């Protein structure tokens, strides 16, 4: 049985400026997990936003846990709040911003699993 407690997770700042901890990534586990997806827990403080970025070949799904904000995907913009799921197709320019007074917390599910060379920051004019 594999169980990970998020309280024991180490957070780091990603290339898109999100505070993140990898909850589950099959390439980083001692156990042989027979899955091809990764899950991370992300946090944006009030008035923060991620940089515009994309995953070239992976699909990403955000599940909003806490807070509110605005999600931007390929020119579309929607307000977001807890208990929503956001589907982000591969190769889509995307970013998320926290518009609330508390931390915006969400899960990032990536399929196939996240790989550093699949993500790139999108230069904006």
Is 124 a member of any domain? yes
Confidence of residue 101 (pLDDT cuts 50, 70, 90): very high
DSSP string computed for 44-112? E-TT-BPPSEEESS-EEEEEEEE--EEEEETTEEEEE-TT-EEEE-TT--EEEEE-SSS-EEEEEEEES
Asked if residues 76 and 61 have their Cβ atoms less than 8 Å apart, the reply is no
Is 83 a member of any domain? no
pLDDT on residue 56 = 98
CATH of the domain at 37: 2.60.120.10
Confidence of residue 125 (pLDDT cuts 50, 70, 90): low
Number of domains present in the structure of the chain: 1
pTM across the whole model: 0.94
Is 69 a member of any domain? yes
Rounded Cα distance between 40 and 51, Å, is 17
pLDDT in tens, 27-71: 988 888 899 999 999 999 999 999 999 999 999 999 999 999 999
Asked if residues 108 and 40 have their Cβ atoms less than 8 Å apart, the reply is yes
Confidence of residue 1 (pLDDT cuts 50, 70, 90): confident
Is 19 a member of any domain? no
Q: How many C-beta atoms surround the C-beta of residue 71 within 10 A?
A: 19
Asked if residues 114 and 87 have their Cβ atoms less than 8 Å apart, the reply is no
- Tell me which residue range forms the domain holding 111: 29-76+91-125
Tokens of 101: 């007074």
pLDDT on residue 28 = 84
25 phi and psi, to 5 degrees?
-145, 115
Tokens of 30: 């001692």
Nearest C-alpha neighbor of 36 from the set 62, 3, 63, 58: 58
């Amino acid at each position: 049985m594999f169980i990970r407690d998020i309280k024991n997770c180490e957070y780091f700042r990603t290339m898109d400026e999100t505070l993140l901890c990898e909850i589950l990534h099959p390439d980083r586990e001692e156990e042989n997990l027979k899955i091809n997806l990764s899950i991370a827990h992300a946090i944006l403080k009030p008035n923060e936003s991620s940089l515009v970025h994309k995953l070239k070949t992976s699909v990403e799904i955000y599940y909003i846990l806490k807070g509110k904000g605005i999600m931007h995907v390929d020119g579309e913009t929607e307000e977001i709040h807890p208990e929503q799921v956001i589907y982000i197709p591969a190769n889509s320019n995307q970013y998320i911003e926290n518009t609330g007074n508390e931390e915006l917390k969400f899960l990032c599910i990536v399929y196939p699993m996240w790989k550093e060379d699949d993500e790139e920051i999108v230069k904006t004019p």
